[in-house]
Amino acid sequence: MASARDEMLRGVRGMAGRTLRLEDAIPKENAIVLGTLADLHARLPQLAANLKEDAFLLKTVGSAIVVTAVNDRGVLYGVFALLRKIALGESIEHLNEQQTPRAAIRWVNQWDNLDGSIERGYGGQSIFWDNGRARADLSRVSEYGRLLASLGINGCAINNVNADRRILLSDFSPQIAAIAAALRPWGVRTVVSIDFGSPKSIGGLDTFDPLDPRVAAWWKAKMDELYAAVPDLAGVVMKADSEGRVGPSAYGRTHADAANVVARALQPHGGLILYRGFVYDHHMDWNNPKNDRARAAYDNFVSSDGKFDPNVVIQIKNGPIAFQVREPASPLLGALKKTRQAIELQITQEYMGQGRALVFLVPQWKETLDFQMGDGRVSGFLDAFAGVANVGLDENWFGNPMSQVNLYGYGRLAWNPDLSARQIAGEWTALTFGSSETIVRLLLSSWRTYENYTGPLGLQTLTDIVGNHYGVAVEASERNGWGQWHRADEKGVGMDRTVETGTGYIGQYRPAVARIFQANCPDDLLLFFHHVPYGYRLHSGKTVIQTIYDLHYEGAEAVEGYVREWKTLEGRVDEQRYTQVLHQLEYQAGQAQVWRDAVTNWFFRTSNIADEKHRVGNYPGRVEAEAMTLSGYEAVAVTPWETASGGKAVECHHAQGCSASFYFEGEPGWHTIRVQYFDQSNGAARYQVFVGAQRVDEWRADDRLPTKRLDGTSSARRTISGIALRKGDEIRIDGTPDQGETAAFDYVEIR
Ligand code: GCV
């Protein structure tokens, strides 16, 4: 309640410059009255409402605005809702608005490791952990609690689902308690991720068999101990039998056995276990065309329906693989008729540009939430939401100012999945920058744009699957056990998941949906479900191969358009964020071109079918580095080949530097020079560009991109505009290496 009161004061002070007077009694003048229904009953007996936990009522009573709920958390949510209304300029006259969250469990998961790193986190180090302990300064945790509360989120898992067994050591609970204390004032209950092997790995038992009574007793004692330290712990998250984590399969037991043994230990404390449905074998034989990772969640869980205890919730990812740029809704959603279920959405942009690309994910999530499974809409099946947030210590939480829209959108949808993407984009934009149709337009088109240049038609994100999941690497998904296969070869592309000739995955959908995916598959998902020849015609009338070419060009062109559109906002968005976002979009435009060229060239070489529009393989104004006059620089082959133009780049191995030059052959006039160079993480090489004797630009390659290699992740673009060039001018690139970084570059393009 104190948080609700302080937030009301802070909000009105911030927006109206007025400090509300605090009183315990209800005054005669205008007032904002905060309290639970029980608190207010004696003074406002006319207030009658039938509210669930966390729901709130905003109601005008005489000259007062009353914000009430059955619990303190609900009042806090009501305050945030009222402040949002004021900030959005909505009327607060004659209020009588009751809001009830659709799902009672609205959690975020943080994949934070105890050493302070974050698995798939792009906004800096952990706000919770440092060097194996809770951070000494937990002020960012309490700010995070406030942020989460403003979105109606009521639980936060504070450590990675790839759980460190130390989290359950007896002397560790004070660390958890310290974090819980920082979240508690915001109504955010703490959750811990646990390792199923703990009874053996830290418990001194020789087994973690869930049916062994000693194991059950261990879990019970452990949970009693944990709740003694954190009495309001919301529960636990557990990843078992997945990606190297131990699980019930070690003893031939079921997931219900595993979940229930922990659930029974939690039950006396009112705790929940969110048991992850993300179970699959990552050593599957690629050569077996019947193998299919997409089948795994359904195959593993559906037979246990009805066998889970009531405090078990199965946490199911939105799609059957893992957070790809496009996947169909997981067929497990709603298939468990007697089991509670959560949808797991990924806020952190693991496969979506990792905090460097503008990708508003709400339209993607909405597609799943609104999906008609044949026996109901996905959102109607859900008891819980889990969003993988992975915020970090960076000032803006995510490493850039725009990714916050996804946390905002997640919270709003967990509260009310019927909100539209447009409404959420509009709210966030207005609250963050002030209303702007331009920003809303960018947000709403950004997922489609990202999909177009990274993996359209259901191909999934064509990224470095076995590495950093960031840059382009078309074949990285193939010939390994991870199961993110697209099976492109010289004749065709796509996974055959049909019942008749493929893996049978389509048969996991309810019949009405299976029929559509089988016989009338939407173009967007065609290659997820079917293997087709490159000449196959889509509903659009175009061939698959031409569509792949066209969409990659459209996607890359769209990002260039974002840069132009963002520039129209100069002076209307605060300067700091204007510049940050501009740089981000300019970088993204360069990346989009790398993706475009890599994917289209890869498919051109593989299919041997030319682009009808003659773009693929033809790059007007481009001069390959390896074709320049080189002094010190040496040509090298880049792996994978498609990530460098012509498969090659040049590198410098001389501390004093190297040069590469060529003569301009184009028409005289004002030109833009673009240098495609490589920015690895192991140094900060220096580049200088000269036209004749005049230096026109210089920079250091000092971005923090996640690779030490020359590849699609490190490939970056420098744009030098407004340069006067005459035919015959010499253009020279001087590069000076630094540590492991070789001042490499790929080509220069002049426009
Ligand atoms: C926490 C994907 C990610 C992993 C993640 C896993 C999961 O495979 O790449 O980093 O592990 O999903 O959701 O458990």
Q: What is the pLDDT of residues 332-389, one digit of tens each?
A: 999 999 999 999 999 999 999 999 999 999 999 999 999 999 999 999 999 999 999 9
Ligand 1 mean position to 505 CA, how many Å?
A: 22
Give the containing element (helix H, strand E) for 662. strand 658-663
Nearest CA to ligand 1 atom 12: 322
Report H helices in 318-436: 362-369, 404-415, 421-432
> How far, in Å, is the centroid of ligand 1 from the Cα of 123?
17
For ligand 1, whether the C-beta of 322 sits within 6 Å is yes
Check whether 26 has a pLDDT greater than 90.
Answer: no
User: Could you tell me the distance, in angstroms and rounded to a whole number, from the CA of residue 88 to the centre of ligand 1?
Assistant: 37
Q: Is 329 in the pocket of ligand 1 (CB under 6 A)?
A: no
pLDDT digits (tens, 9 = 90+) for 619-632: 999 999 999 999 99
CA of 167 to the centre of ligand 1 (A): 19
**Is the shortest distance between the CB of 278 and ligand 1 below 6 Å?**
yes
Q: How far is the CA of 294 from the centre of ligand 1 (A)?
A: 15
Atom of ligand 1 nearest to the CA of 160: 1
Q: How much is the average pLDDT of 548-572?
A: 98
Task: Provide the b/e sequence for 161-188 (b: ≥16 CB within 10 Å).
Answer: bebbebbbeeebbebbbbbbebbbbbbb
Least confident residue range of 11-25, 223-237, 312-326, 455-469: 11-25
Q: In ligand 1, which atom is closest to the CA atom of 242?
A: 14
Q: Whose CA is nearest to atom 2 of ligand 1?
A: 322
| Nearest atom within ligand 1 for CA of residue 120 | 10
Query: How many A from CA of 160 to the centre of ligand 1?
Result: 10
Residue 334's pLDDT is: 97
**Residue 477's pLDDT is what?**
97
Asked if residue 297 has its Cβ within 6 Å of ligand 1, the reply is no
Determine the distance separating the centroid of ligand 1 and the alpha carbon of 119, expressed in angstroms: 8
Decide whether any atom of ligand 1 lies within 6 Å of the 162 Cβ. yes
pLDDT, mean of residues 507-518? 98
In a 10 Å sphere around its CB, with 0-12 CB exposed, 13-18 middle and 19+ buried, how is residue 608 labelled?
exposed
In short, whether 119's Cβ falls inside 6 Å of ligand 1 is yes
- What local confidence, expressed as pLDDT, does residue 565 receive? 98
> Do residues 563 and 585 touch, judged by C-beta distance below 8 A?
yes
Whether 480 contacts 286, CB under 8 Å: yes
Local confidence band at 507 (pLDDT 50, 70, 90 cut-offs) = very high
Probe residue for ligand 1, chosen from 108, 109, 110, 111 as the CB with the greatest number of ligand atoms within 8 Å: 111
Instruction: Decide if 153 contacts 112 (C-beta within 8 A).
Output: no
Closest to 379 (Cα-Cα) out of 349, 423, 345: 345
The pLDDT value given to residue 271:
98
240 close to ligand 1 (CB < 6 Angstrom): no
* Contact criterion met (CB below 8 Å) for 95 and 68: no
Task: Measure 483 CA to ligand 1 centroid, in angstroms.
Answer: 14
Tell me: pLDDT of 705 over 90: yes
Q: Nearest CA to 498 among 281, 698, 295, 348?
A: 295
**Phi, psi (5° rounding) for residue 658?**
-140, 165
Testing ligand 1's pocket by substitution, the residue of 112, 113, 120 carrying the most ligand atoms inside 8 A of its CB is 120
Are 563 and 589 in contact, with CB atoms under 8 Å apart? yes
pLDDT of residue 607: 98
CA of residue 110 to ligand 1 center, whole Å: 12
Q: Given this model, what pLDDT does residue 446 score?
A: 98
Cβ proximity of 351 and 314 under 8 Å: no
- If pLDDT is split at 50, 70 and 90, which confidence band does 45 have? confident
Considering the entire predicted model, what is its pTM? 0.97
Q: What percent of the chain has pLDDT over 90?
A: 97
Q: For residue 161, which atom of ligand 1 is closest to its CA? A: 1
The helix or strand, by DSSP H or E, that contains position 526, with its residue range, turns out to be helix 526-529
**pLDDT at position 46:** 85
The answer on pLDDT for 516 being more than 90 is: yes
CA distance 636 to 642: 13
Residue identifier of the C-alpha nearest atom 14 of ligand 1: 161
As a whole number, mean pLDDT of residues 33-53 equals 91
Percentage of the chain surpassing pLDDT 70? 100
pLDDT at 47: 87
Which tens digit of pLDDT belongs to each residue from 641-687?
999 999 999 999 999 999 999 999 999 999 999 999 999 999 999 99
pLDDT attached to residue 461: 96
Confidence band, pLDDT 50/70/90 cuts, at residue 229: very high
Strands (E) in 277-378, as ranges, are 312-317, 340-346
Residue 625 Cα to ligand 1 midpoint, Å, equals 38
Quick one: which atom of ligand 1 is closest to the CA of 350? 9
First to last CA, the chain: 61
Mean pLDDT of 585-589: 98
pLDDT score at 506: 98
CA of 162 to the centre of ligand 1 (A): 8
Element (H, E) at 190: strand 189-194
Distance between CA atoms of 435 and 431, rounded to whole angstroms? 8
**Mean pLDDT score, 425-433:** 97
Predicted confidence (pLDDT) at residue 90 exceeds the cutoff of 90: yes
> Number of C-alpha atoms within 13 angstroms, CB side, residue 381?
30
Q: Point out which residues pair with 463 in neighbouring strands.
A: 472
Which is nearest to 253 in space by CA: 235, 268, 270, 241? 241
Q: Is the pLDDT of residue 445 over 90?
A: yes
- CB of 120 within 6 A of ligand 1: the answer is yes
| Ligand 1 pocket residue status of 470, Cβ below 6 Å | no
Residue 741, phi-psi category: left (phi > 0), alpha (psi -120 to 50), beta (remainder): beta
How many A from CA of 629 to the centre of ligand 1?
Answer: 46
Residue of 111, 243, 283, 344 to mutate, ligand 1, most atoms within 8 A of C-beta: 243
Phi, psi of 67 (to 5 degrees): -115, 115
- What is the distance in A from the centroid of ligand 1 to the CA of 109? 12
- 19 CA from centroid of ligand 1 (Å): 46
pLDDT digits (tens, 9 = 90+) for 187-209: 999 999 999 999 999 999 999 99
| Mean pLDDT of the region 462-474 | 97
Across residues 168-176, what is the average pLDDT? 97
List the one residue out of 358, 410, 429 whose CA is nearest residue 147. 410
With a 6 Å cutoff on the Cβ, whether 111 touches ligand 1 is yes
Of 441, 122, 462, nearest to 326 by C-alpha is 462
Residue 411 pLDDT level (bands cut at 50, 70, 90): very high
**From CA 145, how far away is CA 387, in angstroms rounded?**
15
Q: What value does the mean pLDDT of the chain take?
A: 97
CA 376, distance to chain mean position in Å, is: 26
Give the phi and the psi of residue 269 in degrees, each rounded to 5.
-100, 5
Ligand 1 lined by 161 (C-beta under 6 Å): yes
> Are 187 and 76 within 8 A, CB to CB?
yes
209-220 confidence digits (pLDDT tens): 999 999 999 999
